[in-house]
């Protein structure tokens, strides 16, 4: 745009008269006339160029200002497709091959892309918290993953009174092109357990999802005592979790527990699905954090996380991001009373073992239903 404008000025100068028939009789008048004519042409061309491009120049400056505040524009490109976990890759492909729905309002990035108040709840179910739950289980799940939701509703999500305490299970969804909006609404009418916000639901946006969970807990459910962020492919021994939280020595505030990770190096290999650039996260190690598969926290923390996140640059590792929030707040995650209860992978199902733990990562939803059914059958598990 700017190059073209300068080009037209150059052409204008070439248009000045080369010959003047009066040059022999009035040389002084000729040079003054030439100068005046040249000036006229230059002024005319300049005016023309300015009137055509002033709007775009203004826009250009406005955009530069927008991207430079409060961080530089490098922060905006904070997720790359290298980091997609294989089992979630289909979600990203689905998003990449489609365009954004036209009904989505433009996102205002007041603080940064993961600041949850940049997004709006489409489904919100705030009345579910009137029961003053002891524990709220928040499950991030892709909109089209009905199978995972149904398996949870038949198993650990089914229980609303556990060890005498009110427990509610809710699913957190973002937007997905593949999702059938009517079906989701019907599902919500039936179960009243869907929370949906208007960010694009992709694996690389999980930090946004976690922060939206925190915002929901802070604004819709502040009276709950504890909450847990638990993945949709998890086995959760909900009784053991409530028994743990009922122990008198469990803190009621500023408490975060789960599988505690300390001194974890940031993955700098670009081929890794966990790759995070130095631009996004400069330190070589993450602060102490709890593994994202399932972490439990006192419900005073969500509001503090949302507030402190304003000043913490987002990156795509959601559990480590919560670790950053804890660090900035001056708190550290605590090991659970029995650390062996928070397990990641299990080699094979063992009824006795599953009766003692709190978490295990599972495979397909049917596995959860099968293991749960077996665990709940009468007779001692060990
Ligand atoms: C994350 O969500 C935002 C807001 O909907 C969207 O603009 C962006 O494209 C998403 N990013 C990825 C990597 O999916």
Ligand 1 centroid from CA 220, angstroms = 24
- Beta-carbon contacts of residue 325 (< 8 Å; ≥ 6 apart): 304, 305, 308, 309, 312
pLDDT for 331 equals 98
Cα 246 from Cα 149, distance rounded (Å):
27
- Please tell me what DSSP assigns to residue 363: S
**The domain 116-375 belongs to what CATH superfamily?**
Spore Coat Polysaccharide Biosynthesis Protein SpsA; Chain A (3.90.550.10)
Q: Give residue 314's Cα distance to chain centre.
A: 8
Q: Rounded to the nearest 10 degrees, how much is the dihedral formed by the CA atoms of 121, 126, 132, 135?
A: -40
pLDDT for 103 equals 52
The residue whose CA has the least distance to atom 10 of ligand 1 is: 200
What does each C-alpha distance from 81 to 27, 86, 204, 271, 363 come to in angstroms? 72, 11, 8, 10, 23
Residue 197 Cβ < 6 Å to ligand 1: no
pLDDT in tens, 346-372: 889 999 999 999 999 999 999 999 999
Residue 242 Cβ < 6 Å to ligand 1: no
182-187 LR contacts (CB < 8 Å, sep 24+): 184/123, 184/143, 185/123, 187/146, 187/149
Q: Exposed, middle or buried, 201 (CB in 10 Å: 0-12/13-18/19+)?
A: buried
The pLDDT of residue 256 is above 80: yes
The residue whose CA has the least distance to atom 11 of ligand 1 is: 205
Residue 176 Cβ < 6 Å to ligand 1: no
The residue whose CA has the least distance to atom 5 of ligand 1 is: 199
pLDDT in tens, 275-313: 999 999 999 999 999 999 999 999 999 999 999 999 999
Question: Of all atoms in ligand 1, which is nearest to the CA of residue 95?
Answer: 14
The pLDDT of residue 84 is above 70: no
Residue 199 Cβ < 6 Å to ligand 1: yes
Average pLDDT over residues 168-177: 96
Q: What average pLDDT does the structure give for the chain? A: 81
The answer to whether the peptide bond before residue 70 is cis (omega within 30 degrees of 0) is yes
Residue 325 Cβ < 6 Å to ligand 1: no
pLDDT band at residue 110, thresholds of 50, 70 and 90? confident
Ligand 1 centroid from CA 268, angstroms = 23
Of 143, 157, 236, give the one whose Cα is nearest residue 196.
143
Q: Which of 7-21, 199-213, 308-322 has the least mean pLDDT? A: 7-21
Average pLDDT over residues 337-354: 94
pLDDT for 178 equals 84
pLDDT for 28 equals 57
For the whole prediction, is pTM greater than 0.75?
no
pLDDT for 174 equals 97
Residue 79 Cβ < 6 Å to ligand 1: yes
């Amino acid at each position: 745009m700017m190059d073209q404008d300068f080009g037209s000025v150059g052409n204008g100068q070439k248009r000045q008269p080369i010959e003047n028939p009066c040059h022999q009789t009035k040389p002084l008048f000729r040079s003054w006339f030439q100068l005046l004519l040249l000036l006229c042409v230059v002024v005319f061309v300049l005016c023309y160029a300015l009137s055509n491009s002033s709007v775009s120049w203004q826009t250009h400056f406005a955009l530069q200002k927008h991207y430079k505040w409060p961080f530089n524009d490098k922060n905006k490109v904070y997720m790359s497709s290298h980091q997609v976990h294989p089992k979630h890759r289909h979600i990203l492909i689905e998003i990449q091959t489609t365009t954004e729905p036209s009904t989505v309002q433009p996102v205002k990035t007041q603080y940064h892309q993961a600041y949850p108040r940049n997004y709006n709840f489409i489904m919100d179910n705030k009345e579910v918290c009137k029961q003053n739950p002891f524990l709220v289980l928040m499950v991030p799940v892709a909109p089209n993953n009905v199978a995972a939701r149904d398996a949870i509703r038949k198993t650990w999500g089914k229980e609303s009174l556990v060890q005498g305490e009110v427990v509610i299970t809710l699913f957190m969804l973002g937007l997905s092109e593949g999702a059938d909006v009517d079906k989701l609404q019907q599902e919500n009418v039936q179960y009243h357990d869907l929370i949906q916000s208007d960010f694009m639901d992709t694996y690389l946006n999980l930090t946004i999802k976690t922060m939206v969970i925190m915002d929901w807990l802070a604004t819709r459910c502040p009276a709950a005592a504890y909450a847990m962020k638990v993945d949709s492919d998890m086995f959760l021994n909900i009784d053991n979790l409530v028994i743990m939280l009922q122990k008198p020595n469990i803190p009621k505030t500023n408490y975060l527990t789960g599988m505690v990770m300390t001194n974890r190096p940031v993955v700098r290999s670009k081929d890794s699905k966990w790759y995070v650039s130095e631009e996004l996260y400069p330190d070589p190690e993450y602060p102490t954090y709890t593994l994202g598969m399932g972490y439990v926290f006192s419900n005073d923390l969500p509001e503090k996380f949302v507030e402190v996140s304003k000043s913490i640059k987002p990156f795509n590792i959601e559990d480590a991001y919560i670790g950053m929030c804890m660090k900035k707040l001056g708190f550290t995650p605590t090991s659970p009373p029995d650390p062996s209860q928070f397990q990641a992978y299990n080699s094979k199902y063992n009824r006795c073992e599953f009766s003692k733990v709190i978490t295990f990562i599972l495979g397909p939803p049917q596995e959860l239903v099968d293991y749960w059914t077996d665990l709940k059958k009468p007779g001692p598990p060990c």
